[in-house]
């Protein structure tokens, strides 16, 4: 028992001596007196009894690893123990190449919540939505699973299937999904023109090279035609690499803060600032967000919003404003520990608050009302006068593109951009009064 107590205390970074005549520096002595020695003794006693009395033989190493998991699980939803397999999965996620369903998940009140489905994956194509609560995986209740176990079950050989049961807010009964696993090759960025001169850049998640990919996407659009307005779509983007978010924000800002962090450790307090480089300096930007926009997505939205560079549209974001640091324990084991909180340039904490959009637009389905074919207009009246001919061409309204017909939020963002561009054109080129 004494050996185990010593082991625990040494692990905590202190020493236990049988003699009081030790040359211990005063600061170490003060640290030792703050340690909960009685609780450590209780832990050692509990460990010893579990090891000896549990109905099945359990390896002491497994028990200790489980104890570490318990320490971290009780802190917050994002701190975790990483064994060799978990660490490998973390690397796969940041590089964007792994096998599974394509769901970013978190925990909330003991249940597993979908942060967002990833574009083009089995989960997204099946209709799983941000905010869905996963209650069963493969017929097994999630109450008996941790988040790491849930991820392990959802991942597997491409072509194999797994059934998910989810509870969706507003629905009275669980929804069943039978999904086939695929190799998930996540395309971080894609771009297109929604209408002439109005560009669209979709960022699905933040991987190591996402910032440069966004710059390349804008360059490709600019080669096709001039850009008069740009929509940056961060909806259902679960985040990812912090530096990628900083690099992307820096593309549109000439200076000032992008994000800063605060924590207990000295190196946890950091500031990230924009440089002079900027794309589309005078072009209006709209950033689309929703409840599936998390972490790095919220950093970008918050920075562009606080600096007045973009209009943020959609719904309140997820609210993950914490920083996780990977702390290596051995060559193949580590802990992912929350060490700091993110703050926007204006000093707003993202944690559990999210980013509130400038213009709130819910996800909606809009049904067009058919026009009355029997309603008359002036041109239909017999003997109507024709308009005097002019040299100026009459402007023609452009019908909504196919990309926005079924996406109300995207359609609203495009309408806003077109309105801003039209107003700018009228301000820059006011009509001259008619001359006689």
**Closest C-alpha among 177, 112, 104, 172 to residue 139:** 177
Cα–Cα–Cα angle for 286, 292, 294, nearest 5°? Answer: 80
In a shared domain, residues 126 and 221: no
> Phi and psi (nearest 5°) for 82?
-115, 110
Does the annotation count 222 as an active-site position?
no
Overall residue count recorded for the chain in this entry: 436
Domain end among 159, 185, 211: 185
Per DSSP bridges, beta strands 103-108 and 270-273 are unpaired
In a shared domain, residues 225 and 274: yes
In a shared domain, residues 209 and 269: yes
Domain end among 185, 210, 236: 185
Q: What is the predicted pLDDT for the residue at 92?
A: 61
Residue that the structure tokens 């909806």 belong to: 235
In a shared domain, residues 238 and 124: no
Percent of the chain with pLDDT over 70: 83
Does the annotation count 320 as an active-site position?
yes
Residue 118 falls inside a structural domain: yes
Contact 365, 371 (CB under 8 A): no
- Tens of pLDDT along 108-133? 766 788 888 888 889 989 999 988 99
Residue 333 falls inside a structural domain: yes
Q: What is the predicted pLDDT for the residue at 400?
A: 59
Of residues 371 and 174, more confidence is placed in 174
Split at pLDDT 50, 70, 90, the class of 398 is low
Structure tokens at 199: 């560009």
Q: How far is 206 from 295, CA to CA, in rounded Å?
A: 10
Q: What is the predicted pLDDT for the residue at 250?
A: 96
Q: What is the predicted pLDDT for the residue at 223?
A: 96
395 Cβ contact partners less than 8 Å away, ≥ 6 residues apart: none
Domain that holds residue 216: 189-360
- Tens of pLDDT along 140-191? 888 767 677 788 888 888 889 999 999 998 888 999 999 999 987 777 899 9
Among 9-13, 407-411, 430-434, the range with the most confident prediction by mean pLDDT is 407-411
**Closest C-alpha among 263, 223, 382, 247 to residue 303:** 247
Of residues 352 and 33, more confidence is placed in 352
Split at pLDDT 50, 70, 90, the class of 229 is very high
- Tens of pLDDT along 337-360? 999 999 999 999 999 999 999 999
Percent of the chain with pLDDT over 90: 52
* Partners of 183 in the β-ladder: 99
100-104, 133-137, 213-217, 248-252: range with lowest mean pLDDT: 100-104
> Phi and psi (nearest 5°) for 274?
-80, 155
Catalytic one among 116, 188, 233, 320? Answer: 320
Catalytic one among 116, 188, 293, 295? Answer: 295
Whether 24 has a pLDDT exceeding 60, the answer reads: no
Does the annotation count 188 as an active-site position?
no
Catalytic one among 250, 306, 322, 336? Answer: 306
Q: Is 342 helix (H, G, I), strand (E, B) or coil?
A: strand
In a shared domain, residues 239 and 331: yes
């Amino acid at each position: 028992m004494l050996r185990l107590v010593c082991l625990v205390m040494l692990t905590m970074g202190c020493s236990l001596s049988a003699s009081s005549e030790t040359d211990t520096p005063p600061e170490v002595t003060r640290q030792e007196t703050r340690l909960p020695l009685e609780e450590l003794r209780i832990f050692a006693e509990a460990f010893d009894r579990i090891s000896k009395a549990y109905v099945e033989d359990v390896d002491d190493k497994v028990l200790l690893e489980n104890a570490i998991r318990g320490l971290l699980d009780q802190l917050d939803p994002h701190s975790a123990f990483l064994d060799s397999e978990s660490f490998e999965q973390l690397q796969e996620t940041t590089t964007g190449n792994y096998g599974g369903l394509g769901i970013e998940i978190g925990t909330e009140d003991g249940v597993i919540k979908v942060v967002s489905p990833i574009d083009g994956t089995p989960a997204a194509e099946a209709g799983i939505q941000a905010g869905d609560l996963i209650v069963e995986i493969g017929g097994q209740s999630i109450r008996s699973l941790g988040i790491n176990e849930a991820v392990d079950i959802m991942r597997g050989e491409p072509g194999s299937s797994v059934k998910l049961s989810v509870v969706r807010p507003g629905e009275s009964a669980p929804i069943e999904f039978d999904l086939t696993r695929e190799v998930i090759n996540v395309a971080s960025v894609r771009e297109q023109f929604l209408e002439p001169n109005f560009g669209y850049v979709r960022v699905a998640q933040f991987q190591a090279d996402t910032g440069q990919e966004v710059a390349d996407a804008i360059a490709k659009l600019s080669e096709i035609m001039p850009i008069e307005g740009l929509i940056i779509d961060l909806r259902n983007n679960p985040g990812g690499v912090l530096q990628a978010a900083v690099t992307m924000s820096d593309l549109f800002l000439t200076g000032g803060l992008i994000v800063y962090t605060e924590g207990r450790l000295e190196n946890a307090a950091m500031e990230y600032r924009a440089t002079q480089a900027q794309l589309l300096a005078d072009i209006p930007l709209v950033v689309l967000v929703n409840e599936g926009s998390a972490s790095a997505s919220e950093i970008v939205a918050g920075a562009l919003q606080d600096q007045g560079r973009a209009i943020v549209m959609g719904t309140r974001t997820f609210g993950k404003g914490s920083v996780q640091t990977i702390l290596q324990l051995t060559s193949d084991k580590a802990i992912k520990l929350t060490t700091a909180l993110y703050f926007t340039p204006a000093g707003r904490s993202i944690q559990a608050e999210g980013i509130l959009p400038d213009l709130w637009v819910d996800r909606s389905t809009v049904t067009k009302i058919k026009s009355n074919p029997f309603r008359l207009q002036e041109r239909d009246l017999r003997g109507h006068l024709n308009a005097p001919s002019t040299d100026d061409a009459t402007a023609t309204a452009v019908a909504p593109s196919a990309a926005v017909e079924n996406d109300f939020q995207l359609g609203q963002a495009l309408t806003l951009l077109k309105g801003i561009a039209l107003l700018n054109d009228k301000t820059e080129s006011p009509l001259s009064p008619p001359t006689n």
